[in-house]
Amino acid sequence: MSQKVVKPAPQDTCDIFCYDEELVLRVQPRMEDVLGVEQIFKALSDSTRLKVAYALTLEKELCVCDVANIIQATTATASHHLRLLRKQGLATYRKEGKLVFYSLANEHIHQLVSLAMIHFGAKS
């Protein structure tokens, strides 16, 4: 004789399906705003790029060579990640002679990265 295993219902979901139509109609159109933000989080979801962005919160600007040493990578690898951050609008650069210096694009990006690091226990 086989026994049927009954799993308890999850406690983190509703027991019935219902929704507030007015609320949904008010909030749902704003979901299009997510598209640009998605690209920011996608860029920062790579641990190397997150390290680079975090380093740029600790120093106003960093030379590509400094970034390479901080993340323990080649200058080519550092340049690649910095370029991706720049293409996503998260970083900017300036050239000074033979050196290229990167910084975060604006205070919003600085705050976003800083707050995420603080949330997970990094020293401020």
pLDDT in tens, 32-71: 989 889 999 999 999 999 999 999 999 999 999 999 999 9
For residue 2, what pLDDT is reported? 66
Whether residue 1 is contained in a domain is answered as no
CA neighbor of 83 nearest in space, from 107, 45, 49: 49
Give how far Cα 104 sits from Cα of 8, 31, 99, 111, Å.
48, 26, 17, 10
Which element (helix H / strand E) includes 85? helix 75-87
CA neighbor of 66 nearest in space, from 101, 113, 90: 101
CATH number for position 82? 1.10.10.10
Give pTM, 2 decimals: 0.81
Whether residue 74 is contained in a domain is answered as yes
Asked whether residue 124 carries a pLDDT value surpassing 60, the answer given is no
Whether residue 21 is contained in a domain is answered as no
For the chain, how many structural domains are there in total?
Answer: 1
Domain extent at residue 109:
60-124
Report which residue type is found at 69.
N
Is the CA virtual torsion 66, 51, 54, 42 positive or negative? positive
Asked whether residue 114 carries a pLDDT value surpassing 60, the answer given is yes
For residue 15, what pLDDT is reported? 81
According to DSSP, the β-strands at 91-96 and 62-63 are: unpaired
Whether residue 34 is contained in a domain is answered as no
Q: What are phi and psi of 39, to 5 degrees?
A: -65, -35
For residue 102, what pLDDT is reported? 99
Which element (helix H / strand E) includes 77? helix 75-87
